[in-house]
Structure 1
Amino acid sequence: MKKILALCVVLSALWGSAAGADTPSQLKFMAGPPGGNWFALGGELADLWSKEVMPTTSVTGGAVANIINAHMRKGDLGFSNTSMIAVAQKGTDLGTFKTKSDNAKLLANLYTQYTYFIARKDFAEKNGIKTVDDLVNKKLAFRFATLKTGTGSEFVVKNVFESGFGIDYRKAFKEWGGTVEYASYSGGADLIADNHLDVFAFSVGKVAAIVMQIESTTDVILLGMSQEALDKVGEAIGTVTFLIDPGIYKSVPAGAEPVKVVGDYTSIVVRGDLDDQVVYDLCKSMYNNVEMLAKGVKDIAELDPKTAVPAKGLESHPGAVKFWNEASGKIQ
């Protein structure tokens, strides 16, 4: 019996040290800029984990910076986008990440992110535009905006055009006689309402208030993409195909065909050398309190053990894999 107990202790120790057995006295959680969902949810998570796991502070951050800082151990974990983590681990976009960030691992996919290409209806009908493919194939002069460089939105939009269609949108659109601007969500909504933009692209949740805001002032259509282009983007940066179902938005009414768009996740990136047991406990605490967290940021209610860590495409932290497999009933 003593030998069995000793063996269990050894195995437990080995499992806990698989990622480097670094157990800090407190954690630094890298959230987002003040005023956004990431900032609010980051504070909620830090408070929760301080009570149930270990002292945790929440600091401002960003999708790209949080991956780099997790890789370099300047922070322990933080919000990002799953597509960004996949690319950073592979080192295939060194213009964005400077170096291969293979110490940055996925802790969990939290909730879905849809990339919307919103076109003014008058512009689309005049030029026969129904999809993003049409925009590229027709090489039109049009006024385009997305969020600023370094955001998850711009990262995905850039890769939609580079991987899906083989163009650098910043150069191509200007060569075709168009313009490129960078705006906030609300700023872009105002620009398209005032007829200063033809197309506005950004990533946000499945049921997006900003899309409804735009629809309340302007007749627009949501541009889908061909499956061929969606597959190319997915192969390059690990995104998937999501459907905008009819009935959610005025521009996709009940009875219309679903609109195919690039799908991604808001996720948590964690440094790979953080202790497995600590990561396991962070996941467990978050999942057990998801209803409470959703009272502040309702999107977190989408957290699902079955999609929290993907089977392939990027590396997840072993402690996270263990917890989410157990929570979803998967056999280890």
Structure 2
Amino acid sequence: MKKFIIFLLTLTCVFTASVVAADTPSQLRFMAGPPGGNWFALGGALAELWSQKTIPTTSITGGAVANIINADKGKGDLGFSNTSMVAVAQKGGMAPFKDAVGNASILANLYTQYTYFIARKDFVEKNDIKSLDDLVARKIPTRFATLKTGTGSEFIVNGIFKSGFGVDYRETLKEWGGSVEYASYSGGADLIADNHLDVFAFSVGKVASIVMQIESQTDIVILGMEQNTLDKIGADYGTVTFTVDPGIYKSVTDTPVKVVGDYTCIVVRSDLDEQVVYDLCKTMYENQDTLAKAVVDMKELNPATAVPTAPIKSHPGAVKYWDEVAAK
């Protein structure tokens, strides 16, 4: 009798597990971004599209760090983040992810993010600066600004200094006789144009109107980095090397500038049903033109780059779909 009861309990557990694994949620919670930004607009467009063609989806506000944590804990199903953040979160051991997340993976890399270090041209010429590496190696006093802490921009700027150069910019730049401020995109643009800053660093899309705005107000130089520095950062944060080619900005005239490259991505809880994730990817890609009307950067969505390189983990349902499309 005891063996029979154990058998029934085991059978019940197996059956329950199979039911849970095969369960399809009736509604999804998509974690976007704060009101007014691209993520907020695109989040609403995605939720509407998926609700019409795949599964009812509600868009809620969120943030790059919080969306990873909430996906991992099941407080949301999927949302926007940066691929570098997901890489650090999956690895753990670095703030703000001291402990590795086990239930958050990538649904897709959506569009590129370039990290620009914009320097006033008179500052560069006065100090004969060749690159960001040169500025750091020579400990040049710099009036510096980036976006506020907790943003994707500040996260990767902090990572660039820590991983690439072994310094904490928040303290080190002050020790060298410089200063550190936190500003919005428009606020930082005004500060550097008015000669209150020497360098303004932030992440944004490939062709950025904010860079063009600064160029229209003052002469600038986009500071590049050495390849070995970019490789160090990539090893820790999963970033890649992008080049800013001549012709995009008037400040880049002849030689391409190497910068840290990242992606805006969608992070998804790893235990979400594989077929659901496959269908979400399919609907999104087949309606790419519609989504690009909400945020033009969605034109960059490409099956060849939708799955980040190892060791960054992507959801199996996403890998299945993007591999199928890329092979056609």
Kept in 2, the 8 Å contact 1:22–1:273? The answer is no
Distance 1:194 1:21, change over 3 A: farther
Q: Distance in 1 between matches of 2:163 and 2:147?
A: 19
Give the deviation of 1:295 after TM superposition.
1.4
Change (3 A) 1:49 1:223: same
Q: Which structure 2 residues correspond to residues 240-255 of structure 1 after superposition, within 5 A?
A: 240-253=240-253
1:276 to 271, 274, 280: 274
2:84: which partner in 1? 83
Structure 1: stretches of 5+ with no match in the other structure: 1-16
Q: Is the 8 A contact 2:31 2:79 kept in 1?
A: yes
One-letter identity of the residue aligned with 2:68: I
Gaps of 5+ in 2: 1-17
The amino acid that maps onto 2:276 is V
Amino acid in the other structure paired with 1:325: D
Structure number, greater radius of gyration: 2
Paired with 1:20 and 1:145, the residues of 2 have a C-alpha distance of 47
Provide the TM-score with structure 1 as the length reference: 0.92
> Contact between 1:143 and 1:199, CA under 8 Å: does it hold in 2?
yes
The residue matched to 2:34 in structure 1 has which SS? coil
Report if aligned partners of 2:83, 2:264 keep a CA contact under 8 Å in 1: yes
In structure 2, the residue matched to 1:38 is 39
Q: 1:262 aligns with which of 254, 260, 263?
A: 260
Matches within 5 A, 1:154-233: 154-233=154-233
| Inter-partner Cα distance in structure 2 for 1:304 and 1:177 | 44
| Runs of 4+ residues deviating >6 angstroms | none
Contact 1:18 1:276 in 2 (8 A): no
Give the match for residue 72 of structure 1.
73
1:308 is matched with which residue? 306
Percent of aligned pairs with the same residue?
73
The Cα shift of 1:163 comes to 0.5
CA distance in 1, matches of 2:21, 2:297: 32
User: Under a length normalisation based on structure 2, what TM-score does the superposition of the two structures give?
Assistant: 0.93
Residues 19, 273 of structure 1: 8 Å contact kept: no
Residues 93 and 99 in structure 2, CA contact (< 8 A), matched pair in contact too: no
Q: CA RMSD in A?
A: 1.7
Does structure 2 conserve the Cα–Cα contact (< 8 Å) formed by 1:121 and 1:220?
yes
CA–CA distance in structure 2, aligned partners of residues 286 and 92 of structure 1: 33
- Aligned residues, how many? 313
Distance in 2 between residues matched to 1:155 and 1:311, nearest whole Å: 20
Q: Residue deviations 1:113-157, cap 9 Å, x none? A: 000000001111000112110110111111000011111111110
Give the structure 2 partner of residue 27 of structure 1: 28
1:167-208 per-residue CA deviation (whole Å, 9 max, x = no partner) reads: 111110011111111111011001101111000000000000
Task: Give the aligned partner of residue 146 of structure 1.
Answer: 146
Q: For residue 123 of structure 1, what is the aligned residue in structure 2?
A: 123
What SS does the corresponding residue of 2:201 show, helix, strand or coil?
strand
What's 1:5 paired with?
none
User: 3-state DSSP class of the match of 2:161?
Assistant: helix
